[in-house]
């Protein structure tokens, strides 16, 4: 999976590289910057994209993001107070959540169990 993720990331950077090359060419024509400066900027831009790859890799992996229904049955922790809505962290990801009972108020850092989902939001109860 790692190699295909790398190539997916690289393919998605190409339009940006083209735009940067066009911008540098325009500046070269309009202002008259030196060719080596323009080339250096372009190379630095590409190096920047590859330097960011390790931090962005998981966003480009296929299947890396779970479907919301796959989270049912997992434990999480409230990130802020759910009264009855707020945010929970499940598997290191932040999700919008609603308490099972509208009258429940779950404090921050409360352990919760995901029992369902509705309209893109998790339904949780105290664990």
Instruction: For 8-31, write each residue's pLDDT tens digit.
Output: 899 999 999 999 999 999 999 999
Please indicate, yes or no, whether the overall pTM of this predicted structure exceeds 0.95.
no
Parent domain of 86: 68-126
Q: Domain total for the chain?
A: 2
Residues 72, 108, single domain; the answer is: yes
CATH number at residue 89: 2.40.50.140
- In contact, 40 and 24? CB cutoff 8 Å: no
In this structure, are residues 112 and 124 in contact, taking their beta carbons and an 8 Å threshold? Answer: yes
Q: Are residues 8 and 51 in the same domain?
A: yes
**pLDDT recorded at residue 116:** 93
- Residues 55 and 12 occupy one common structural domain: yes
Assess whether 30 and 50 both reside in one domain.
yes
How does pLDDT run across 57-104, given as a tens digit for each residue?
877 776 655 578 889 999 999 999 988 899 999 988 999 999 998 888
């Amino acid at each position: 999976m790692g190699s295909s993720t790398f190539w997916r990331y690289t393919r998605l950077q190409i339009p940006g590289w083209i735009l940067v090359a066009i911008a540098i060419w325009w500046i070269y024509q309009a202002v008259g910057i030196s060719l080596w400066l323009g080339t250096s900027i372009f190379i630095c831009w590409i190096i920047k994209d590859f330097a960011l790859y390790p931090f962005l890799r998981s966003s480009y992996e296929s299947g890396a993001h779970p479907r919301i229904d796959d989270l049912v049955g997992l434990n999480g922790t409230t990130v802020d107070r759910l009264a009855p809505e707020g945010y929970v962290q499940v598997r290191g990801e932040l999700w919008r959540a609603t308490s099972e009972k509208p009258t429940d108020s779950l404090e921050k850092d409360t352990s919760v169990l995901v029992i369902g989902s509705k309209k893109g939001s998790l339904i949780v109860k105290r664990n």
